Structure 1
Amino acid sequence: MHIRLQAANQVLKEGFGINPNDSYQAFQHFKKVAEFWGNEDNTPCFHYVTSFTGETAPTAEKAMELTNEIFKDVTDSHLAATGTHFKDREWNWYHNHTVVSPTNINDGSLMYGDNTTNFALAQKMADVTVQPTKLIIRKEDGTEVEIPKVFVPHDYGD
Structure 2
Amino acid sequence: MTQTYRDDPYYQQFKGGFVQWAPGVRRVLIDIGATPDEANDALQEAVESILSSRPDMREPRFYLMRAARNKYLSMVRARRHTDDIDEETGLDTATPSSAWPESRALASEFRGRVVTALQVLPPAHREAFVLRADERFSYAEIAQITGRQESTVRQHYKRAVEALRMLLRE
TM over 0.5, shorter chain: no
> Rg larger in 1 or in 2?
2
Q: TM-score, normalised by structure 1?
A: 0.31
Question: Greater helix share, 1 or 2?
Answer: 2
Q: TM-score, normalised by structure 2?
A: 0.30
